[in-house]
Amino acid sequence: MVIIEEKYMQSVPPPPYVPNANTLPPPPFPGEYRGAAKPSDLPPYLLLKIVYMTFPQTPGIDEGKIERQRKTLCWLSTQLRLVNRSFYVACEHVLRSTYLPAYNSMIRPPYSSDPFPFSSSVSTSSVDTLQRETKVLDLFIALKVHEDVMLDDSSLHLEREDSFKDLFDLMQPRSRLEDLVRHYGVREAVVHTNPSGVNASASSSSSIFRVNNSGTGSASTSKQTLDPAPVPFSALSISFSPRRVGLVLTASGRKRTIVDVARTRDEKLEFTAKKLARQLKHGARSTLWCTSVNYARPCPVSLACGRTSHRYIPSR
């Protein structure tokens, strides 16, 4: 028979607790404390579901369901999408998909539209995009949600007929033409979209007239290499009018027109963009500028400039 003394049991300390590195801490503490979860930490599909659930499905006391949903769209455009990047992406998905049919219905022939290209190489991120027509669509949405809410709130509000005139007479065809110039320019290797740029080269032979020390001239044939560097798309813009279209290059804070073509009122933008790309390619291959000091005009290779090689630089 074993007699256990109570005092003896109380004097013995408990064994030390040494947690095993391979085992997790006991519940309710499964791991390190990471702070409270935020809505931006949610997966995109759950965040998009939450945005869709903000739309009311029943009419209000003094307004219908459609009017309440239009106010929700205005709230998405003016407030919710400005919270953070995640909410911006979710709200833009809802707004653009909702107003895209209304946007396409206002495109005037012979103009075309493609604010969301199928190619994934156009988008640089979920927010930034090279497609410039997308910005025009966002401007249309900002104006449209405001006009819809004002019409619902007051019967005295009259929608101005010229509210969207600047968008679809100038900004939409101009931005669409810039996107087409980027498409055809990259295909012709005269425009690039990456920051580092891509060098294109072409070689041709020509006769250069040289003057020797005795004063007599001799003609010699040499092979020269042209290196027309592609123009960055970020530095290009379009000057658009119904009769003429110009390709404007911005460099060192200065703008100048490098290509100018004529067009008719019923000419498609795709055809105009092809002409601009061909003219840009032809000018890059045919225009040589002498790199000598104080030479401020095109240097024909038939003149004796004293140089056996030339390189292409933009015209001044």
Q: Express each pLDDT in 166-184 by its tens digit.
A: 899 999 999 999 999 999 9
**Does 76 reside within a domain?**
yes
315 in a domain, yes or no?
no
Residues 105, 123 contacting (CB under 8 angstroms): no
Neighbours of 291 (CB within 10 A): 14
Sign of CA dihedral 125, 130, 135, 136: negative
Measured CA to CA, the distance from residue 55 to residue 210 in angstroms comes to: 79
Residue 64 reports pLDDT greater than 60: yes
Confidence of residue 248 (pLDDT cuts 50, 70, 90): very high
State the average pLDDT over residues 226-249: 87
Tell me whether residue 298 is in a domain: no
- pLDDT band for 242, please (50, 70, 90 cuts): confident
- What strands lie across the sheet with 254-262, from one edge to the other? 236-240, 244-251, 254-262
State the total domains in the chain: 1
How far is it, in rounded angstroms, from Cα 267 to Cα 172?
A: 15
Q: Whole-model pTM above 0.85? A: no
On whether residue 196 sits in a domain, the answer given is: no
Whether the Cβ atoms of residue 189 and residue 256 lie closer than 8 Å to each other: no
* Residue 62 included in any domain: yes
* In-domain check, residue 201: no
Residue 260, in any domain of the structure: no
User: Both ends of the chain: CA-CA distance in Å?
Assistant: 111
What backbone torsions phi and psi does residue 210 show, to the nearest 5 degrees? -115, 150
Are 235 and 247 in contact, with CB atoms under 8 Å apart?
no
Q: What are the percentages of helix, strand and coil residues in the chain, rounded to 5?
A: 40, 15, 45
What was the pLDDT predicted at 165?
87
- pLDDT above 60 for 212: no
Q: Is residue 10 part of a domain?
A: no
Window from 16-30, 264-278, 279-293 with minimum mean pLDDT = 279-293
Residue with tokens 């025009």: 136
Residue type, 111: Y
Domain range for residue 151?
Answer: 39-163
Q: Is the pLDDT score of 159 beyond 80?
A: no
Q: For residues 3 and 21, give the distance between their C-alpha atoms in angstroms, rounded to a whole number.
A: 39
